[in-house]
Each structure stands twice: as structure tokens, then as C-alpha cells.
Amino acid sequence: MSYIIKGRTCDYEVVIGLEVHCQVISKAKLFSSASAESGGTPNDHVAFIDAGFPGMLPVVNKFCVEQAVKTGLGLNAKINKKSVFARKNYFYADLPQGYQISQYDKPIVGEGYLDIELEDGSTKRIGIERLHLEQDAGKSIHDMLPGKSCIDLNRSGVALMEIVSKPDMSSPYEAGAYLTKLRSIVRYLETCDGNMNEGSMRCDANVSVRPVGSKELRTRCEIKNVNSIRYLMQAIEYEANRHVDAYDNGEEIYQETRLFNANKKETRSMRGKENANDYRYFPDPDLAFPLVVSDELLEKVKNSMPEMPEEKAIRFVQTYKISEDEAKRLSAEKTVANYFEEAMKEKGSDGKKTANLILVELAAYMSENQIENIYELKTTASRLGRITALVEDGTIGLRIAKELLPMIEETDKEPEAIIEEKGLKQVSDTGEIEKIIDKIIADNPKNVEEYKAGKEKLFGFFVGQVMKATQGKANPAVINKLLKDKLS
Amino acid sequence: MADLTSKTIAELSQGFDNKEFSATEVVTAYIKNMEQGRKYNAYITETGEHALAQAKDCDNRIASGKRLSMLDGVPLGIKDLFCTKDIKTTAASRILENFIPPYESTVTKNLLDAGSIFIGKTNLDEFAMGGANLTSYFGQAINPIKRADGKEVVTGGSSGGSAAAVAASMCAGATGTDTGGSIRQPAAFCGIVGIKPTYGRCSRYGIIAYASSLDQAGPMTKTVEDAAIMLEKMAGFDELDSTSADIAVPNFTSSLKSGVKGLKVGVVKEFLNGDLNKEIAAAYEESMNILKSNGAEIKEISLPNMKYALATYYIIAPAEASSNLARYDGLRFGLRVDGSSLDEMYENSRSAGFGAEVKRRIMIGTYVLSAGYYDAYYLKALNVRKLIRQDYINAFKEVDTILTPVAPTTAFTIEESKSFDPVTNYLQDVFTVPVNLAKLPAISVPVKMAENSLPIGMQLIGRDFDEETLFKGAYVLEQNNSWSRR
């Protein structure tokens, strides 16, 4: 299923590496005690160091260090016992110190990997090159006052983790899957909220192409700040094709930074390499001692690691008797996994049915109504759990269970109340169902004849008719038994 | 009443305890001196009124017998590189001409907590870059000691204003900072005592940075004992400075007078055999003899890598400075000169705001960190810096302290300095700079009057965090030398 772009002279494959900036979940900033909360009144969360005042010094926020280590462990990566903060020097209006404190040649986290699932269900391992800690810059606002720019330093100094992958992805799908998986991991770890539309997770993509089978790495372009997974995939697709067109036309690709235009679905040049800053990295003398991750700290973080998606899926299969596929899909997002487990706490609830209602019914409802977080549904985990319990004990049928969901979303009422109000209880009274079956057999002599002659799939037709007549309330097991008896 | 401003800090403290005079009287006397000494241009900002208000509180404490420390009621000058809350702090630069910090540096906070009184902010080389206090935007400071030929000489730098203020009794003691000799050399030029403690001993929080890995605060005083009293209060671990050392501050004053018997003092072979100025060499010799006659053992040691120290320093310090001074961009505080674009505003503000020497060092620093030059200059300098420190560590296996001159000459006139090119200026730092590179403590004490009647200073260099030994040795030098007896 490899992703190939047909060129005029040869077929090309795509080489993709991603650099993802994750805003660290932390109360305070990386080097100051000011609040790291996003939003708020501009310039309200600013310590003197965040504004680059003279004589102010950085003191590293140990919690942010723990968060980086935790993320590193979640990415199966090497934790560097000693790392170094370096200054990245450049002038910009929203960079108060005139440099960003980052990590350069000695990052806190070294090589690791994560596994993504491909379209065909197989797994591919994507290498992680490194993860380092750095400060965010402030925000420049150019359209608030005519002829003037405004600076908001609330974000200045907030901790970011930059996670750099190896150039291991070879299709827009793989890049999307990588970013989805990475987001799932940081959300599991609670080290980043992963909200791309709010900018707390930002992605730059390095894209190049090469003839299929070749091992060379051709000139790459960096596409900046693609703020959704869908845009990332679109941007890569456009960019890869642009490269192929250029090579087809005998043109060269220049190393440059490009911006993705989501409306036009194309990338355009932002700045070429010749305009690149010389950042003059050097170790920050204000943080002269190497940042040490002690054995105690590493142990502490290891002990605080939550159950990760893969482990969770295995446990779900064992505990709730659901399929491997269902378990994987449920545990891909931490919120969904938690929701599922909460639903399963309801007495009498059923794993298989709960999984199915989440993965099919609720998933469809959420995507139709653009709801991102399952916890925003009116169908709470408890309500869903109770619904499957009601199916299990025969109070309602599965079809009614499915129909209940949109009703709850609309009314925010308890499922039991709706069942009562609308009389949706399942009918298991043999006598009543028998009467209905008799009538259906009488009304459809031709079908009865054909069924008896061997057209067995007509059985479904009779079940459907009974369900229709009882508005789905008849107990399917009872229907099956009675129909079989009557039609034999 | 005898002149209060001629007293040492120790004497003032005793006088307060004995209620011989009040803090208000002392401050008033110093304010008078400060006003009379304006010709020395030692202060950028005088805070007399503020000091008198502080003195009232001190007097209440004196009256109730609850003095906070030996420094309670003692008027100090504060180098205008320390941020002082609500008091203008300029770094002697036009770019910070009107900057009033909303926070207090840790060192000055410690001094305030000890009850000391700030009577003004002292002059310095712009951003502490210079060795003669000639680069200050507010004009040069003048050495209160006149040369035999009647000519005015420089104070040295960068803590020139502090040195002049102490020498002319315009404060009882002063703070300085020392990045490559900025406490020790002006102390030597002005005939006072100054100590650069071990890197990490005093917090750098709130001190306007020149070169962060080298900057260190220290006291400048009339006597060794006063320096010990002041440093005890200035120093201490500070969690606001990640390079601050979490090591207890010893009681320097209690061990100060215990002598140098059995102390092993190293003298540097390379300096003895080199081309030292004759008078400096004579003072070096005299100092050895003083220590020897007091029971110390003099040992020749070698510091083979010292010849690389200046080159190393003038790569590392400007590199850090070029980055540290990037924040002065005209955007949030300080001087702004508008332009038609952001870049033009930067250029205009920084061109107008910085003086020539600061610009020179920013350019050198930017150059040595640039792609393609980093390895050849900055990285190499970092490695040589390790070798220089290793030289000292090796030497300290054999000796307890190392004696060297502070400066290659006595103070010079401004006219003479005009004939110096930048490199000649930088050569002034040859004895002091390696100590900062090695992060070691060193004390500068005047030992002899040169024929031109200017003081000559010697320095004692110590092991990491062994300021105690330096105070002991310096005390012996102070009590027995010809300058102190003049």
C-alpha cells in the first residue's frame, strides 16, 4: 500500500519528518513562576524575566523537567541524565530576552520511537530523534491598532517540548497517523493537552521526494505551523507533488521554509535558506550546570506512568471480553477509554454492546455534530452503561438502545425515563408476539411458501415484520423461537 | 566630634553599639562628603534623602539595642549595576538612563536586611565593560589620590565609582562587581581593599549582567576587616540564581586575625621571570617578605596557561555579553529611538543607547559565536578555560593561596589612556582575568606607595570558597605594609 507519486520519468516516494511543539501542561512557566495558563488579559501572566528585564535570571521549573522525562518514557526514548540549556539568539519584538532558552546539542531526551497503524492494519515503527525543552515566545498582534503592532507576553517563557521524528514517514497518511498517535500519547501522559486548534500542539513538516528504491535524501522543505492533522496531510500531499513536478521539469528544489495556505491547499515560500538566521547557539551561562535527571527523579516519573494505549487494549480484551480491534480503537484516545471504563462500572453493563455503541453510534453522532470530546455528550458514560445493562436484562432491545441515544442527546433525560415515557420496553410476552406472528404469516402466504421451499434468507423478512409491528420492542430471542416453530 | 567619615565599618558599628553617635549623624556627615566630593564623579545617583529616612529606622533600633547586624546604620555606595527597587539603575549606559527597577537585587536586599543604608549609586564603566571608568555615559570617575606630579589619574574600573567613593570617604563601604578584575583593579588604583568572592558565593539575581559565567559581586572597603564584615552579609545561597552555591557562609570576621603561620603561599614563576614593571616587582617582593616574616612559607609555582587567559577572556566575556545585551532593544524599557521598521528601531535605539566599547564587545561576541567561527573561537576558549582552572587546581595541591600583583602598572592619567589602543587597555587585566575564568576567589589589598605616590595593590587568590584564607593573608599584608603606614 505504499504511497507513490508518478513522475514523468520515474515513480517517486515521499520522505517525511515531523517536528512537533507541545506546550507542557504545567501551572508555571519553564523558567519563571508566572502562570502558564493560555489566554487571559494580555500581559497579565508575565514575570520580570518573561519581559527580559535587566538582571533577571532563569530558574528551571522542575515539574516541566518531569513532564519532559515522562513524555520521553512514553516515547520509549533514552532519557539523558545530563542535558544543557542553550541560548538561541535572534531579535524579534515578541522575544524579550533577545534569545530563546532551548536545548541544542544536548537535549533531555534522546532516541525513541512510536508505532503507528497503517491502512491495512499492519504496524510501522517511526523513530524519534530527540525531545528537548524550550521557552515559547510571546505573541505579536499586527491587526489590532492601525500602523502599530501589539505584543502579548502571556505566552513568553511557557514550556514547550519539541519532539523531532526521524524521516521515517512515507505518506500523508503515515504523517497523520504519527501525529494522531503522538497526540494520544501526550494526552495519556497528561504532559500536553494536544489541542492543535488552540496552538498547544503545533507541527512543522519536513518533506522531500526521491525515486522509488533510492536511499538518497534530497533537498527538503519545511512547512511551518500546520494546525490540524487534516491540513498536515493536505500540505504534505501538495508539497510532495510540487517537488515531483519540479524534478519532472528539470527544476531544482531549494531548501526553504514554507507556509501552508489551508484555503488554497497549497504551500508558499516564507523564507529561503539565505535569509535564515544565524542563531549563535551557546550554552546558557545563567544555567551553567548541566540539567541533571537524577535516578530518584527518573524512578519517581517511572512510577507515575499511566497505563498506555497498548497495555490498556490488552487489558480491555481480557477484562471486558471485547475484540482486539475494538479494544485498540477504544484505547486510542484516553478520554474514550476512560468513558468506556466508566460505562462498564454500571451494574449489568455489557462490554461488547458498550464498545459497539461507542465506536459506531456515538462516534457517528460526534463526527456529524463535530463534537471532539466524548465527555461533552449528553449520553454520559453512566447512562450508556445503564442502557447496555437494560439490553442485557431484556428490558429493551438493541435497536431501541440505539434509538435512545439521539433522544438523550436531544432531551438530556435519563434513559429509564425516556423508556417509561415512550413505552419502549421490550415485549417478551409469548402470547402477544404469537398473535402478531400469526397475523404476519396469514398476510404473507407467498413468502411463507417460498421460505418453506428452502429460501431461508426470508427468515429475516419475518423478523423484520414482527419488529416493525411491535416498533422494535419485541424480544428478538422470543421472535426467533416462535417464528421457527410456526414456520416449520 | 571626630570626623565620622574617617571611621571604618567596624569602628562605626562599635560606636553605634556604644551610642557614641547616631546613624543620622553618620549619614549626614557622609552626605556632606558626597556633596563635597562631586568633582570625583563617583556617584551617578545620590540618594541622600532616602538614606536619611533609613537612618531614622536605624536610630530607633540603636536606641532599643536591637541592631540588625554590624552593618546596621552603615552608609554604603551601591555600584549602579545592582538593581535597586524604585531607585534609578543605569549600568552607566544611556540605554538605561531612566530605568527604575521594580525589584531589588539579592545582594542589595541582603544588605538592606542587615540594616545598611544606601546613600547613592556609584559610577562604573558602561555595563561594567572597561578598566578605567572611562566608558561611563555619565562621565569618568576621578581617582581621589593625586599622582606626585599633581595630575589626576583614573580610578580603574569597572567599579571605579565605588573605589573612588570609598577612597574619598563618600561612603563607609561599597559594592562592586568583578568580571575580569573590576573590583580588584580599581581597589588597587584607589588604595582600598576589594574582594572578588568565589563564583556562586554572591547571588547574581538583580545584577545587570555583563558576562554571566564570570560576573561576581563583592565588597570594596577601607580595610580587610570591613570587607569581611560586608561579604558575610552580601553572600549566601539564593534559589533565584541557578549558579548560586548552596554553601554556608563562614564567619569571616572571627578568623580574620588568626595570622598566616604555616600558610603556604605560592608565587608565580612566570610572573617573577617575566617583564614586570620594576616597582610592581618590588612591591611583589615586599609582600612576600611580609608574609614570610609572619610565618608563611613562600613557594614558587607555575601557571603555564596564564598566557592564554586574556585571549580566552576576550572571547568568552564578549560572547556572553552580546547575548546578555540583546534585551536592550528599545521595546519594553530604556531608550527608544523610533524607526520606520522594527529593525530600524532596533538599530536606532541601540546605536544611540550604547557607547563605543559596549558596541565593540557586542560585535566581537557576535562574531565569535557565529556559524563557522564558534568552534575556532568560543569552543576553543571554553576548553582553554578548563586548562586555566586546572593550572590553579594543580597549584593548590602545593600551596594554600597564590600571591600576584593586581595590575601591571599604577593608575594612569586620562591623557595617557587615550594613547592606548583597545588591546593595551585589555592588557591591564592580565593578572585579574584568569581568576574569573577559574571562578576562584581573590582579594586585592594595597601594599606599597609607588614613587609617583600612587598605591600598588597585590592580590591573594584562594581555593574555591576559601575566602577565609584570603582575609587572613590580606589582613597580615594590610597590618604590615608601607601603604597602610603612610
pLDDT in tens, B55-100: 999 999 999 999 999 999 999 999 999 999 999 999 999 999 999 9
DSSP character at residue A287: G
The alpha carbon of residue A244 is apart from the nearest alpha carbon of chain B, in Å, by 32
> Does pLDDT of A428 surpass 90?
no
> Does pLDDT of A432 surpass 90?
no
* pLDDT for residue B486: 64
| B182 is an active site residue | yes
The alpha carbon of residue B92 is apart from the nearest alpha carbon of chain A, in Å, by 13
Mutate to test the interface with A, among B242, B335, B340 (most CBs of A within 10 A): B242
- Residue A285: is it exposed, middle or buried by C-beta count within 10 angstroms (0-12/13-18/19+)? buried
> Does pLDDT of A95 surpass 70?
yes
> Does pLDDT of B222 surpass 70?
yes
* pLDDT for residue A151: 95
CA distance A194 to A184: 8
Please report, for residues A256, A277, A283, A458, B264, the alpha-carbon distance to residue A274 in angstroms, rounded to integers and kept in the order given: 9, 9, 25, 74, 59
- For residue B376, what are the contacts with CB-CB under 8 A and spacing of at least 6? none
Across chain A, mean pLDDT equals 93
pLDDT digit string, tens, across residues B392-410:
999 999 999 999 999 999 9
Query: What is the percent of chain B where pLDDT is above 70?
Result: 99
* pLDDT for residue A459: 87
> Domains (ranges, CATH) in chain B?
4-255 (3.90.1300.10)
Which region among A280-284, A308-312, A427-431, B326-330 has the lowest average model confidence (pLDDT)? A427-431
- Are the CB atoms for B188 and B455 separated by under 8 Å? yes
- Are the CB atoms for B76 and B47 separated by under 8 Å? no
**Chain B, window 321-340: residues with a beta carbon less than 8 angstroms from a chain A beta carbon:** 322-323, 325-327, 329, 331-333
Q: Inform me whether the C-beta atom of residue A97 falls under 8 Å from chain B C-beta atoms.
A: yes
> Does pLDDT of A1 surpass 60?
no
Write the residue in A52, A57, A278 that is nearest to B327 by C-beta.
A52
∠ Cα B268 B272 B278 (to 5°): 135
Confidence of residue B418 (pLDDT cuts 50, 70, 90): confident
Is domain A430-487 annotated with CATH 1.10.10.2840? Answer: no
Q: Where are the domains of chain A?
A: 4-301, 309-422, 430-487
pTM for the whole thing? 0.90
pLDDT digit string, tens, across residues A222-246:
999 898 999 999 999 999 999 999 9
Catalytic residue among B13, B105, B116, B158: B158
The alpha carbon of residue A80 is apart from the nearest alpha carbon of chain B, in Å, by 20
Which region among A27-36, A395-404, B108-117, B328-337 has the lowest average model confidence (pLDDT)? A395-404
pLDDT digit string, tens, across residues A301-349:
999 999 999 999 999 999 999 999 999 999 999 999 999 999 999 999 9
Long-range contacts (CB closer than 8 Å, 24 or more residues apart) made by B13-18 = B13/B67, B13/B70, B13/B71, B13/B72, B13/B73, B13/B74, B13/B229, B16/B58, B16/B62, B16/B67, B16/B72, B16/B73, B17/B67
The alpha carbon of residue A87 is apart from the nearest alpha carbon of chain B, in Å, by 8
> Of the candidates B357, B472, B450, B411, which has an alpha carbon nearest to the alpha carbon of residue B185?
B411
> Of the candidates B396, B481, B409, which has an alpha carbon nearest to the alpha carbon of residue B445?
B481
CA distance B173 to B43: 13
Q: Which residue, chain included where needed, has cell 541524565?
A: A81
The alpha carbon of residue B207 is apart from the nearest alpha carbon of chain A, in Å, by 5
Mean pLDDT over B116-145 rounds to 97
Write the residue in B243, B319, B346 that is nearest to A282 by C-beta.
B319
Mutate to test the interface with A, among B81, B96, B327, B377 (most CBs of A within 10 A): B327
**Chain A, window 103-162: residues with a beta carbon less than 8 angstroms from a chain B beta carbon:** 149, 151
Question: What are the phi and psi torsion angles at A264 (to 5°)?
Answer: -85, -10
pLDDT digit string, tens, across residues A256-296:
999 999 899 999 998 766 667 899 999 999 997 799 999 99
- Are the CB atoms for B166 and B6 separated by under 8 Å? no
Residue B82: closest CA among chain A residues belongs to which residue?
A55
Mean pLDDT over A87-108 rounds to 96
Inspect the interface and report whether the beta carbons of A89 and B240 lie closer than 8 Å: no
B264-268 and B297-301 beta bridge pairing: parallel
ipTM of predicted assembly, 2 dp: 0.95
Catalytic residue among B7, B79, B109, B439: B79
* pLDDT for residue A11: 95
> Does pLDDT of B1 surpass 60?
no
- Are the CB atoms for B157 and B425 separated by under 8 Å? no
- Residue B263: is it exposed, middle or buried by C-beta count within 10 angstroms (0-12/13-18/19+)? buried
Please report, for residues A161, A311, A345, the alpha-carbon distance to residue A332 in angstroms, rounded to integers and kept in the order given: 22, 11, 20
Widest distance between CA atoms in chain A: 96
Residue B207: closest CA among chain A residues belongs to which residue?
A55
Inspect the interface and report whether the beta carbons of B323 and A54 lie closer than 8 Å: no
Inspect the interface and report whether the beta carbons of A53 and B366 lie closer than 8 Å: no
* pLDDT for residue B421: 81
Cα torsion angle, B5, B8, B13, B15, sign = negative
Q: Which residue, chain included where needed, has cell 615586599?
A: B286
Beta-bridged to residue A35, according to DSSP, are: A28
pLDDT digit string, tens, across residues B253-275:
999 999 999 999 999 998 887 78
* pLDDT for residue A272: 67
Across chain B, mean pLDDT equals 96
